[in-house]
Structure formats: structure tokens, C-alpha cells
Amino acid sequence: MTACWEREEASPVTCCSTPMAAAPTSDSPPLDAQRSEQIETALRRWAQFDANCPAQLGEAIRYSLLAPGKRLRPHLVLLAAEACGGAVAIEQALPAAVAVEMIHAYSLVHDDLPAMDDDDLRRGRPTCHKQFDEATAILVGDALLTRAFEVLAIGIQPGERAARCCALLAKAAGPEALVGGQADDLAAEFRHIGLERLQSIHRRKTGALFRASLELGAVAADGSAEQRQALVLFGEKLGHAFQIVDDLLDVSGNEANVGKRIGKDRHRGKVTYPSLLGVEPSRQRAAELIEEACQAIDSFGAAAQPLRELAEFVGRRSR
Ligand code: GRG
């Protein structure tokens, strides 16, 4: 079977039981320009600090946070909120979109440090520690991590909903998820691990933030328990597919497109989906996961169409 996102890009596709007008290109996520602008404006706003923040630290925070990432996670937050509560819910969820991008940006800055993945290129630019210095990059990560919770605590209303958002994002970013996944990923370098271990690492290192993005949107929009569960399942499947595609891009992606060094997984002795399963079976698995993700949100009907289109982009992305 040919997966929805493997079909001819130019031809109209029917995928995840709902027809789409035309597939966007593999380079550009199918994102609403107005919503993208809302996200950028909110990120810029929350990346302003008073005079107590040293000028160079503020500059380095903005350098990393406002760099041209795809903003998949903040869009997922807003699309989940919209699916639950319509257009009015987008405004309510905006602080959660900012918070999750801050956690993501912090994790990239720290991952790039010499003690971790030791990278010099990120989002098509020198990594934070190359552009500034190592101590600054560590502090940028610290600042983004803490600022994310300030944004949620102040920005999400009412307070009880803000507390739920803080708790779920803390869990996703903590030792049982993002941090633990990263620790196990580093420990697995130059060691053979099986598929189950690989999936456990990526469920925590990559998947947890995807899952949290969808759940944050549902909670910020006060969605029902059924809506939240469906979106969480969508997030889990999508996060899994995203990581498989990320591994595939590390084998065959274009460095200029991807904006980071290619071939690093092999260089660092990392077991990946293509190294364990092979390239074609990995592609097939990613396609199945995208289909399953779309099925998980069937009950939303047309309200979740933008989420389905974003899922398909994740399957076909080239950056
Ligand atoms: C330092 C606690 C800690 C965790 C680091 C981010 C991370 C965990 C590792 C980065 C290595 C890596 C390739 C992870 C795979 C998934 C991933 C996070 C890819 C980058 O996400 P994109 O493509 O990035 O959404 P942009 O730049 O578009 O936002």
C-alpha cells in the first residue's frame, strides 16, 4: 500500500478519510500564515527581559529561541486547542505554544553542547555555544526552561488550568521523559540496543514533547476527557513517526535543508530505525504511524483537518 504522504506531491490526495485540496511541498509545513505570525509575536514578546537580565544573555536566548525552526510543537498546541474549542481557544492556548517551544529550544541548545551531541550547526546557523560560548549556552537552556513555566503560570487562565499545564509539561520535560530519554540515548552510543530500547528512548526524548503539545492544547481549551485522550494518542503516533523520519533524514537528507549536520548518528555509533529495520521498512513504519495518528482523531471530523495535514507533512518532510 502507498501511504498518503508518499503519493505524488502535485496531485490531489485523499488521506486519513478526509479529502485535501492539494499536498504542500515537502519543504514547507502546511501552516496558517496568520497563526505562524501569532506564534512568532508571542515568542518575541516572552523573550524580552527587564534590565536584570544581562544584555548578552538576552541576546543569546533570542538567538536560539527565535531562530528559524519549523515551530511544529507550538502549531500542534494551537491546532489541538482549535479542534477542541474552535477559533477562540487559540488565544487561550498561545502561552502553552510559547512554553513548549521554549522547552524544545532549550533541549536543542543543551543537546548541541560538547558534553552531549557536540554540534556546530543548528537551524542553519552556528549553535549557541559556537556563536557565544559554552557557559552562555548552558545558561540559555536554564533560562528557557524556567521561563517556560513562568509563561504558563502567568499566561494560562484560570489558575487551575495553568497548574495542570505546568504539571504535564514538567512531566514531559523531566527525568521520566525528555531528560531521561536523553540520558539513555547518550549511554547507548557505540552500544547495540534492540528495537524496544530504541523506542523507549525516543518515546521519552522526542515523543513526550509531541504528546505534551497536543495535551496542552486540549487542556488550555478545556477539552473533554475523550478529546484529550484522542489527541494524546495522535501525539504519540506522530512523535514516533517524526523520530523515524528524523533518522531517515540523517541517512539521506540534505544538510542545507535540514539545517544541521547529516550522518551524525553513524558517526556517534547510534542505533537508529534505518540501521535496525532498514530504510524501506522504516519508511513504511512511519507511513503506518501517520495513518494511525490520523485515525485516532477521526471523531473530530473537519475540525481536525489541519492536524491531519500537519501529520502528513511530518511524514514527507525534508527538513
Ligand atoms: C538536552 C534534556 C536534553 C534533551 C535533548 C532535542 C534533543 C533532546 C535531542 C536532539 C537530537 C535529536 C535529533 C532529536 C530528534 C528529534 C528532534 C528534537 C529534532 C529536532 O526537532 P525539529 O525538527 O527542530 O522540530 P526545529 O529546529 O524545526 O524546531
Encode pLDDT of 174-194 as tens digits: 999 999 999 999 999 989 999
Backbone angles phi, psi at 127, to 5 degrees: -65, 165
- Per-residue pLDDT band for 26 (boundaries 50, 70, 90) equals low
- Cα of 91 from ligand 1 centre, angstroms: 26
Inform me whether the pLDDT recorded for 156 exceeds 90.
Answer: yes
Inform me whether the pLDDT recorded for 12 exceeds 70.
Answer: no
CA distance 165 to 318: 32
Can you give the pLDDT at residue 87?
Answer: 92
- Per-residue pLDDT band for 3 (boundaries 50, 70, 90) equals very low
Q: Which of 65, 66, 72, 111 to mutate to test the pocket of ligand 1 (most atoms within 8 A of CB)?
A: 111
Can you give the pLDDT at residue 37?
Answer: 96
Per cent of the chain over pLDDT 90 is 81
- Counting Cβ atoms within 10 Å, is residue 68 exposed (0-12), middle (13-18) or buried (19+)? exposed
Please state the rounded mean pLDDT for residues 3-11.
Answer: 30
- Cα of 206 from ligand 1 centre, angstroms: 7
Ligand 1 pocket residue status of 240, Cβ below 6 Å: no
- Cα of 64 from ligand 1 centre, angstroms: 13
- Per-residue pLDDT band for 155 (boundaries 50, 70, 90) equals very high
Inform me whether the pLDDT recorded for 298 exceeds 50.
Answer: yes
Q: What angle do CA 89, 92, 93 make, to 5 degrees?
A: 90
Can you give the pLDDT at residue 107?
Answer: 98
Cell digits of residue 113: 553542547
Can you give the pLDDT at residue 30?
Answer: 81
Assess whether the previous peptide bond of 158 is cis (omega < 30° from 0): yes
CA distance 315 to 136: 35
Inform me whether the pLDDT recorded for 10 exceeds 80.
Answer: no
Q: Which of 100, 123, 211, 246 to mutate to test the pocket of ligand 1 (most atoms within 8 A of CB)?
A: 246
Q: Contact, 314 vs 293, CB < 8 A?
A: no
Inform me whether the pLDDT recorded for 7 exceeds 80.
Answer: no
- Cα of 165 from ligand 1 centre, angstroms: 21
Instruction: Collect all residues with Cβ–Cβ distance below 8 Å to 6 and sequence separation of at least 6.
Output: 283, 287, 315, 316
Question: What tens digit of pLDDT does each residue of 232-260 get?
Answer: 999 999 999 999 999 999 988 777 777 77
Helix (H), strand (E) counts: the chain: 16, 4
Ligand 1 pocket residue status of 108, Cβ below 6 Å: yes
> Is residue 113 left, alpha or beta, with left meaning phi > 0 and alpha meaning psi from -120 to 50?
beta
If you write DSSP's letter for every residue of 42-92 in order, what string do you get?
Answer: HHHHHT---TTS-HHHHHHHHHHHSS----HHHHHHHHHHHHHH-THHHHH
For the whole model, what pTM was predicted? 0.91
Cell digits of residue 105: 529550544
What sign does the dihedral 240-241-242-247 (CA atoms) show?
positive
- Cα of 102 from ligand 1 centre, angstroms: 12
Distances (CA, A) of 232 to 49, 97, 114, 142, 276: 33, 16, 34, 27, 27
